[in-house]
Each structure stands twice: as C-alpha cells, then as structure tokens.
Structure 1
Amino acid sequence: MTEERSVDLSGGLEDVPVLCEFSVFLQYSTDNVQGLGCSVDPSEVTLPGCSCISHSCHPETCSCLQTSGKAYDDTGRLLNLDGPESGYSSPVFECNALCTCSDTCTNRVVGRGLRLRLEVCRTKSKGWGVRTSEEIPRGTFVCEYAGEVISFTEATRRQLSQRAEENNYIIAVREHAGTGSVTETFVDPARAGNVGRFINHSCTPNLYMLPVRVHSAIPRLALFAGRCIHAQEELTFDYSGRYGAQKPVEALSGDGLKRKRCHCGSVNCARFLPLDLSILS
C-alpha cells in the first residue's frame, strides 16, 4: 500500500502552497487569462497608478482610492460587510503595479494574491472541494475565481455544449453603472484556473464574490469570507452571486435544460445549481 503525499497544486506559482492529496490535471493560473472572444489581455496593466509616496495610501490624496473610496481596513479586511446582503456592491479599485506606494499598502489585497493555507479535497457527494487549514476572520480575502475570460457568444456555446455531469461552472458577472450601462464579464475555469475552480456552490455559503480591479479594467472575481470560517471547514459560495438574507434562486423545471443538481445540504437548498438563462437566450 502506497502512502499518499500532498502536492502543491499551484506548482509553486502561489506564495502559499495549495495542497492536494491527489493528482489533478489543471493549467494553474493565479490570474485570469485571455480566452476566445476577449479582446483585452487581463494580465496587461491598463489602469493608471497613483503617485503616493506614503507607506499606505489615504483617500484624501490617492487617485485610486478617490475612484471608489476606501474598501479595506488597516488589516486588509472589507469595510462594507453589509453590502452583499443587499444584492449590490460598490466597485473596488486597488493600487497596482504602476502605483508608487508601498507593497504593503492597505489598498493592496487581492493584488497580493493567496495568503491562506487552502486544501483541495474530495467531498462525499460533490466531487472536489476546498477547505481551509486555518481560521478565517469575516471580511478576509480568501482567493480569486480565476479562469479564461471569454465573450458572451463563447460562453453561450460552451454552456450549451456542456454535459450535466461535467463539474465546471462559467461565472457571469454584470456590473451596472448608470442608466443602461452594463459591463459583462464571463470567466470559465475549465481549461485554465486556480484553486477557486474547486470551490463548491452552496445555497447557504460562507464566501461571497466581489469584482475587484487591480491592473486591468477586467475585474478579478475575488472571494471574501462572509462570516468567520473555522479551520477544516469547507469553503463555498453561491454561484448566482446571492449572499445572506437575499432570496434563494428558484429552481426551474420542465424547460428541457441540462440542470445540475445541488448537493449542498442546506435547509433552503434550491435543488439545482443556478443557471444564467440570459447566456442561453
């Protein structure tokens, strides 16, 4: 009998190893990559940087913070922790590679990458999952949901060709800025992704997703702790973007679509994973 040895799923790309006891084929990427139909390279620095020379930026003088306001406290945790339950969140712009502030600036959180010890593991009924090896305080950045950034047309094609038994989920994020102005981002981690692609859906999640812009106008889909999370607890988020007191997504039936069953076990389980019907229209 051979002894299983944990390996670093990231292959050294993350500052903190992502442990996994099984070999998993994955083109690991710590950030989004350019996919079919995406005209912009998400890794290219396209946003301007601030000219702050202080250890940490201040809203009164920092151009990055003046764009969206201060999002994090001095420990790097989110300040507006009630926003997710309302169903809306304000945009977040972090300091980037062009900024002259310190690498430890409090407006550098998602851009600094993974800082927590996470493990990819097998679950009883959901296939792969992710658990934390340490306690995570509420509001802490956990990891990104990284993958290929693709167009609406490509997202539709991939969604329609996907089999019900395939464990992959294309995330669609829509940001509204004024009347009639909507920015759409589609991220598919099937071919390239990070540890976030193994995080399961739950109708009662402990993480929530927030679009954060660092180097590029294309947002990074950052996952934050919606509550205090205990060591060895499985990490989950609602694939529909819902969190907290928001109304659960109703399951559709009789529409002939390849709905994937939900096995989260929550009291308010909707029985099926969320499905973005607008992608299929």
Structure 2
Amino acid sequence: MGSRLPILDLNASPTPPPPPPPAPNPAVAPLRVPKIEPKAEPYDDSMDTATAPQPPQPPQDPSDIFLISQTTPPAATPADQTTVYSEFHRIQELFHTAFAKGIHNGGGGGGEEDGVVLDPETGAMVPVEDNGQNRQLAEAVHRKKYPQRSNELVRVTDLSVEDHRYFRDVVRKTRMLYDAIRIISIAEEEKKNPGQGKRTRGDLRAASVLRDRGLWLNRDKRIVGSIPGVYIGDLFFFRMELCVVGLHGQVQAGIDYLPGSQSSNREPIATSIIVSGGYEDDEDAGDMIIYTGHGGQDKLNKQCAHQKLEGGNLALERSMHYGIDVRVIRGRKIQSAVSQKVYVYDGLYRIIETWLDVGKSGFGVYKFKLLRIEGQPEMGSSVLKFAESLRTRPLSVRPRGYLSLDLSQQREKIPVLLFNDIDDDQDPLYYEYLRTAAFPTHVYHQSANGHGCECVSGCNDGCFCAMKNGGEYPYDQSGFLLRGKPVVFECGAFCRCPPGCKNRVSQNGLKKRLEVFRSRETGWGVRSLDLIHAGGFICEYTGVILTREQAHIFAMDGDSLIYPHRFADKWAEWGNLSQIYPDYVRPTFPAIPPLDFAMDVSKMRNVACYMSQSSTPNVMVQFILYDHNNLMFPHLMLFAMENIPPMRELSLDYGVAVADEWTGKLAICN
C-alpha cells in the first residue's frame, strides 16, 4: 500500500524573513478595498437560483470601494497619486512589504494573530501537533453530523498497481452512487410534481446524502498533488462532485487552500484551482496559465477594486515559495442534458512566478504564472477540443488512418468510424454489420397476441408497461437508467404510445458517435467521439442468436460464441443504495429465468463486439425486452456506468470464461 507523507520544507536553505515594513505614512491615505471573498467561478445559469451558491456580491457601502478613476482624490491623498499608474506604483510598493508582513505575522489575512514570529526553518507543511486547539476542533467535528476536512497536508506516494486499481474502484463506485442518487432524486421530484418544470438540484441532494453518511472521499487527510483513483481527463458535471471525491474542496471558490489559521506553521497552502476562462485578466494557453487572484470582483466577475495578498492569493504565493504543485481543473461550457458546464481534471501545475499588475479594468490584481509538469498524460481539455473537431471534420484533422467513415454502411442512424494508423489490419471490414440482434422466428410466436399500454400521448403512472416494470418506469425524463434490473420492459409494437415515449430508449438505436480503432496494446477497441453520461444508453450488443442445441453444434466446430449469462451482473451495481440504506435489497422484479442461448458473432456483428474486457468496466449489460415478450431471449443493451470522456476506450466485463487471459480481449474480435 502506498504511503501518505507529510510534506516537509522543500527549500533546504530558505532566505531569512525580510525586515518589518516601515511605519505607514499618515499623509498617505490607506488603500480601501472591499471585503475579501473567495475567487468564485462565473455563475452557472444551469443552477437553480434558490439553491445555487451565489457569486460574491459587491460591497453595499460605496465608501468600501476606492475608485481610482474618480476626478477628485481624497483630501489625504497626495497629488502625485491621482492617476491610475501612480496609484499602481504605490500598490506595488505595498506588494513587497506584504510578503514580509505575511510571513512575519503568520500569513496576513488568513485569520492569524499578529505578533507571531515564525521559525525561518519552518516548512510549508509539517505534522500537526496535538494541542488544545486541535482538541477543540476535534470536539467540534464530533458534534457535527459529518466530519470536517482535515488540516493535515499529505502527499500520496509509492502506490502499487494493486493500490491504483483499488483506489480507482473506490472512486468509481462513489461516483456511480452519486450519479444514481442524483438521477433518482430528480425522477422522484418529477413524479411528485409532474409537468411543473421545476429544476431540482439533484447534485446538491446527492452530495448531501453522501456527506451525511460519511461517504465523501479524502476527508481524513488533505492531499497535495494527485488524488488516488482520479485520472487526468476525468469529467465532472457538477462542482459538488469535485468536493465528494476530494479533488477540489470549495463549492464556488476557484482557489482551494488550507488557511493559515488551520496550518501548523500558520502559513496557507493552495492545493487546487479551477480555470474557467470567465475572468478578464486570466490567460490560458494550455500548458501555461496566467491565473488572476481573488478579491475585488463584482457579481458580473468584473474587477471593481484592488486585490490584497491574503487568503487564496497568499496561499498560491506560499505554494510557489515552497515549490508545491497544484491540481488544475478546467471548466468548459457544453450543451448537455445534465448541465451546461463540464469540469475536466488536467493534472498538476507548478507556480513559477507571481506579480502585481494593473488589470484591464484599471485595478491592481495579483497574477500567477503556472506551468504544467512534464511527463503527464494529455490534458483532458485538449482531448475534448480534439474530439469536437473530429465530429465535424474528421478527414481534415486526421487525413490518414480512416478505413471507413461508416462501418455500419448506413444501418445506424449515426455513422460508425473505423480508424487504424497502426498497421494494415482491416479485419472489421470483412463482417456484415448487424444493427440489432437476429432472433429465431419462434421467439416472436408467443408475442403474436401480445398486450401493450393504451397511453396515446405518452406513458403515465400506473399504465400497463409501468406495472410490468414493477410499478415504475426504468428511465428518467432525459432517458437515463434509474437503476439496474434483471430485465427492463420498454414499450413495444403493441403499445399505443408515440415513438418519443420516455419508455422507448434503447430501441431507438445508436445516438453517440462511436469509433472502432486499432491499438498497439489491446488490438481493436471502441471509443466515443461524444461525451457519454452515466446511466446513458450506448448501443446494443448484436449477433445471430442460437438456441442451446445450435450452440452445441457450433461449439463442436471450434467457433467462439458469446454466452449472455456469463456477462457479469454489473447492472446490480447501478442504482445500488446499500451504502445509503442498510436494508436495501437489489431489484429482483421483473424476474428472468436463466438464459440458455448463445450469440454467434463470427460473420455478423456490430460495433459493440470490439469492446475490451475489463474487471472494472465503464459499460454494463442491461437485458431489455420491447419487440417480443419471450423472457428467454432478451436484448443485450449497453449503458454507461460512469461519465465517459471522449476518446476513452469503452470496456465490458464479459466474464472470465470467454476472455483471453493474455490480451484481455475476446478472441473472436481480436
């Protein structure tokens, strides 16, 4: 198991603290600044105004803002300080003394008491001593319903392959639980108040439920650097989910840091920032960022006053002083059924320079130059941009490597790309594309006199199809699967509801732009050019359905077959609330008998057959019936178990019996 180590002084010979600042000149008016607020992200319109965190408001008292552009300066202000530039030079002088004052007095602005002189050999992060203050904090935490964040900074090191796999699975299951609670809570609210158009904050509800049950991750230690189990390129649709996994601990502030009042050496340290491009003085060039500090912004994110070296600003400066890296999360606006913004983890950056500058609005702002640490995987935000360009003009972006721009030959509503720039293998072109599974004719015989719902304008609560699913619909209004079940009944040919009914999801076919690609490590694989939401439908796993007798004959010839009953029951993990409710029992209705058929994909198949094998997959199999009622022969529909970024490989758990132990792929598709 890896170790979590307190970070010690990273400078072997730190420079001694500068002398105390000179006494202020009474002839010079003190610089007036508004109350410092955390640097908030640009307000997200998708948030409900009743529950969303509000952006910092400007001071109500006009005297709290020192207006540089005023024509008549204050009486106590010398004449040579009546212009923007002269005022800037005066602030710049205060900038240098602020460093000394911040170090001498314990960080300045972080809530520390004046007069505390630090040991010059003190490191940025040291083990926390068990003093009276910590005991009081522990008692306060005990009185809370949920544990507060730790004030001990650590870095996780020396993780083995098994450790990485373990932490990834913990993060994956926590995020899956978060998404399940969010989707279910929205569906329940819609059920209570149908058609009212109320925008329920399912993300806040999910975070609150997990927090109250102590399921937020990385609360016992405050981690500097990489978070175990969180990969570069991971996507998050909500700020609260960043808090749940411990990637960024602030709901609205863009700088997450340990305040000096909680630090053992009274110095604040920054751990992560969020860059959304919503501030006028920010510059983002990918590997290099010019990040503007916090403070002095109005509700429209415009600079209205000078910034001070305190709070998150001082924390970033201290992280630069000690050479401590920070995590960078980028926010990007998107068109999505879940939210209007996505947050992408882009890895670790190091702060190499900081200075005071005149911002575009004419006020003094602190700027921090960050460079991305080399040797990390490609930034997730860069992958998003690359996938976006592929969706509109693939040949101009990748002129070489495409074997086909539509492997399905127009059988799917959306083209399936085939890409190989590794070798000359063109194997997927030699098979006939099968859009949906081919069942034996006798499967439909018992459905000749089938029954369906009578919902003309759309399914309603209590209709025939809802009762078949146990009294509830399997999907929410956006088409996301609420919880996995042994089998799901969708509305079919005998139902009177329209094609746009909310209980017709998987039968409508492929909606994501998928690509079959060649890899040096895993052979053929599948990835999406679109972002796939957790609980969202991907495609059907197709082939020619064989009865047990037919499968036995095929197996005698040595052909490889797919056995649906061997797929791992990952559907039981989606919507599993056993960690929330101890008496939770996974759904057993509608029931389905043991499947006794096989699927031949040796000559006819679709894109799903090229998905990789994984014991921790991001795609699951959900059995579904819609065009017949024979429980012995359901469709194999694939749904996302987590938010899957563009260009990330899709994987299934086929079961040990059918997976090639050496390649981790199906032999039939490799």
> Structure 1 length normalisation: TM-score?
0.73
Gap runs ≥5 in structure 2: 1-398, 420-425, 570-587
Q: 2:456 corresponds to which residue?
A: 53
**Cα distance in structure 1, aligned partners of 2:546 and 2:467:** 30
Q: 2:478 corresponds to which residue?
A: 75
**Cα distance in structure 2, aligned partners of 1:65 and 1:158:** 39
SS of the residue 1:130 aligns to:
strand
Aligned counterparts, 1:1-281, within 5 A = 3-5=400-402, 6-21=404-419, 22=426, 24-34=429-439, 38=440, 40=442, 46=448, 47-54=450-457, 56-60=458-462, 62-68=463-469, 69-80=472-483, 83=484, 89-162=485-558, 169-173=561-565, 181-216=593-628, 217=630, 218-240=633-655, 260-264=660-664
CA drift of 1:3 comes to: 4.3
**Cα distance in structure 1, aligned partners of 2:411 and 2:517:** 19
Partner AA of 2:453 in structure 1:
C
CA drift of 1:96 comes to: 1.3
CA drift of 1:66 comes to: 1.2
**Cα distance in structure 1, aligned partners of 2:590 and 2:646:** 41
Q: 2:296 corresponds to which residue?
A: none
Partner AA of 2:541 in structure 1:
Y
Partner AA of 1:28 in structure 2:
Y
**Cα distance in structure 1, aligned partners of 2:513 and 2:445:** 24
**Cα distance in structure 2, aligned partners of 1:120 and 1:179:** 35
Alignment deviations for residues 79-101 of structure 1 (CA, whole Å, 9 cap, x no partner): 01xx4xxxxx3320101133221
Partner AA of 2:459 in structure 1:
C
What count of residue pairs does the alignment treat as equivalent? 235
Alignment deviations for residues 202-251 of structure 1 (CA, whole Å, 9 cap, x no partner): 111100101100102231100100111110001111002xxxxxxxx5x8
Residue identity (%): 32
CA RMSD of aligned residues (A): 3.2
SS of the residue 1:173 aligns to:
helix
Structure (1 or 2) with the greater helix fraction: 2
CA drift of 1:104 comes to: 1.0
Partner AA of 1:18 in structure 2:
V
**Cα distance in structure 2, aligned partners of 1:49 and 1:103:** 14
Alignment deviations for residues 97-117 of structure 1 (CA, whole Å, 9 cap, x no partner): 332212111100111011111
**Cα distance in structure 2, aligned partners of 1:203 and 1:138:** 18
Alignment deviations for residues 43-97 of structure 1 (CA, whole Å, 9 cap, x no partner): 996543322112x31231x2122111311111001101xx4xxxxx332010113
Partner AA of 2:432 in structure 1:
Q
CA drift of 1:155 comes to: 2.2
CA drift of 1:151 comes to: 1.3
**Cα distance in structure 2, aligned partners of 1:43 and 1:14:** 27
Q: Residue 231 and residue 44 in structure 1: after superposition, are their counterparts in 2 closer, same or farther (change >3 A)?
A: farther
**Cα distance in structure 2, aligned partners of 1:63 and 1:116:** 30
CA drift of 1:154 comes to: 2.6
- Report if aligned partners of 1:155, 1:170 keep a CA contact under 8 Å in 2: no
SS of the residue 1:209 aligns to:
strand
Q: Residue 73 and residue 179 in structure 1: after superposition, are their counterparts in 2 closer, same or farther (change >3 A)?
A: closer
**Cα distance in structure 1, aligned partners of 2:506 and 2:562:** 21
Q: Which one is further off, 114-123 or 189-198?
A: 189-198
Q: Whose relative contact order is higher, 1 or 2, with alpha carbons under 8 Å and at least 6 apart?
A: 1
Partner AA of 1:59 in structure 2:
D
Q: 1:244 corresponds to which residue?
A: none
Q: Which one is further off, 203-212 or 182-191?
A: 182-191
- Report if aligned partners of 1:44, 1:215 keep a CA contact under 8 Å in 2: no
- Report if aligned partners of 1:77, 1:140 keep a CA contact under 8 Å in 2: yes
**Cα distance in structure 1, aligned partners of 2:600 and 2:527:** 21
- Report if aligned partners of 2:465, 2:491 keep a CA contact under 8 Å in 1: yes
- Report if aligned partners of 1:199, 1:236 keep a CA contact under 8 Å in 2: yes
**Cα distance in structure 1, aligned partners of 2:492 and 2:592:** 29
**Cα distance in structure 1, aligned partners of 2:533 and 2:520:** 26
**Cα distance in structure 1, aligned partners of 2:412 and 2:447:** 20
Q: Which one is further off, 112-121 or 216-225?
A: 216-225
Gap runs ≥5 in structure 1: 84-88, 241-248, 252-257, 265-271, 275-281
- Report if aligned partners of 2:487, 2:592 keep a CA contact under 8 Å in 1: no
Q: Residue 180 and residue 211 in structure 1: after superposition, are their counterparts in 2 closer, same or farther (change >3 A)?
A: closer
Partner AA of 2:456 in structure 1:
I
SS of the residue 2:430 aligns to:
coil
CA drift of 1:178 comes to: 9.9
**Cα distance in structure 2, aligned partners of 1:29 and 1:43:** 22
CA drift of 1:24 comes to: 1.3
SS of the residue 2:564 aligns to:
strand
- Report if aligned partners of 1:33, 1:41 keep a CA contact under 8 Å in 2: no
